[in-house]
Chain A
Amino acid sequence: SQQGEEDPQALSIQEGENATMNCSYKTSINNLQWYRQNSGRGLVHLILIRSNEREKHSGRLRVTLDTSKKSSSLLITASRAADTASYFCATDPTAGGTSYGKLTFGQGTILTVHP
C-alpha cells in the first residue's frame, strides 16, 4: 500500500494564486521530501524537511510537517504557468527507529496553473 497520500488529486488555479497540496503518511519517518514531475519527464527534487522540523522555505515553496498528525503540506506562492506539473511527497518509512532505506511515494497532485 502507498505510504503517502496526496490531497487533492488535482488542483486548477489562475496564475498568481497560491497552491496548497497536502500529504498524509502512515508510519514513522526520518524525513519527508517533495518532488515535481513535468509531463513525460523524470522527477525533480524540490525540498526536504526533517522529522524534527516543522516548517521550511525555499524560494516560493513553503513546506510544513506535523508528525503528530502524520501530514505535510506544500504551498507554492504566486504560482506561474510553468508550475504546472504533478507534485509528489515521498517518505522513508521506519520501524522501531530503523529505516528501510526506501523512498516511498504518494499518488501525486496534478497542478494546473492557467495563464
Chain B
Amino acid sequence: NAGVTQTPKFRVLKTGQSMTLLCAQDMNHEYMYWYRQDPGMGLRLIHYSVGEGTTAKGEVPDGYNVSRLKKQNFLLGLESAAPSQTSVYFCASSYEHLSSTNTEAFFGQGTRLTVV
C-alpha cells in the first residue's frame, strides 16, 4: 500500500518562482489536507478539501492555492515563492470527516521546501 505520496521530497526555489506540490492517495479518501510544519509552531493547516472539486481555506492560506480535480490528488501551488514559505509541507487524507469519532488522518512523508 502506497498510502499518501508526496512529490517532490525536497526542493529549493528562488524568491518569486512558482511550483506545485503533488499529493496522491490510493485509499479512496474523501478528505485531504495540506499542512506546513515550522520549528516551534507545530502543524498549521493551509487548505483542505472535503471531496473532488472542493477546496477550503485553513489557518494560513495566504500565498497558496490548491486544486482537487481528481479525488486521489490534491495539489498545492505557490505562485510567487517567498522566504517565509520555507517549511516542511505535509499532506494528509482521511476517509471520513475528521470530526467523526472513528477516523484518523494518514500523512505523507513531507516535502522540504527552501526559498532563497
Residues in chain A near residue B43, CB distance under 8 A: 43, 88, 105
Cross-chain contact B40 with A103 (CB below 8 angstroms): no
Cross-chain contact B45 with A42 (CB below 8 angstroms): no
Instruction: Specify the main secondary structure of chain B where it touches its partner.
Output: loop
Cross-chain contact B110 with A48 (CB below 8 angstroms): no
For the complex formed, measure the closest distance between the CB of B88 and the CB atoms of chain A, giving whole angstroms: 9
For the complex formed, measure the closest distance between the CB of A32 and the CB atoms of chain B, giving whole angstroms: 11
Q: Which of A2, A48, A105 contacts B104 (CB 8 A)?
A: A48
Interface residues of B (CB under 8 A from A): 4, 31, 33, 35, 40-45, 48, 50, 56, 58-59, 90, 92, 97-110
Beyond A2-B41, A42-B109, A101-B50: 11 further Cβ-contacts under 8 Å?
A33-B105, A43-B105, A48-B101, A48-B104, A94-B99, A101-B97, A102-B58, A102-B98, A105-B42, A107-B42, A108-B42
Closest A residue to B94 by beta carbon equals A103
Residues in chain B near residue A50, CB distance under 8 A: 101
Cross-chain contact A107 with B107 (CB below 8 angstroms): no
Cross-chain contact A44 with B107 (CB below 8 angstroms): yes
Cross-chain contact A31 with B106 (CB below 8 angstroms): no
Interface residues of A (CB under 8 A from B): 2, 4, 30-31, 33, 35, 40-45, 48, 50, 88, 90, 92, 94, 99, 101-108
- Within the assembled complex, what's the spacing in Å between the Cα atoms of A2 and B42? 8
Cross-chain contact A42 with B104 (CB below 8 angstroms): no
Q: Which of A4, A35, A44, A103 contacts B98 (CB 8 A)?
A: A103
Residues in chain A near residue B104, CB distance under 8 A: 33, 45, 48
Q: Which of B50, B58, B108 contacts A42 (CB 8 A)?
A: B108
Cross-chain contact A101 with B106 (CB below 8 angstroms): no
The 4 A-B pairs with the shortest beta carbon distances in the complex, nearest first, are A99-B99, A42-B107, A45-B104, A105-B43
Residues in chain B near residue A40, CB distance under 8 A: 110
Cross-chain contact B99 with A43 (CB below 8 angstroms): no
- Residue pairs across A and B with Cβ atoms less than 8 A apart, 20 shown, are A2-B42, A30-B101, A31-B100, A31-B101, A35-B107, A41-B110, A42-B107, A43-B43, A43-B90, A43-B105, A48-B101, A48-B102, A88-B43, A92-B99, A101-B56, A101-B97, A101-B98, A105-B42, A105-B43, A106-B42
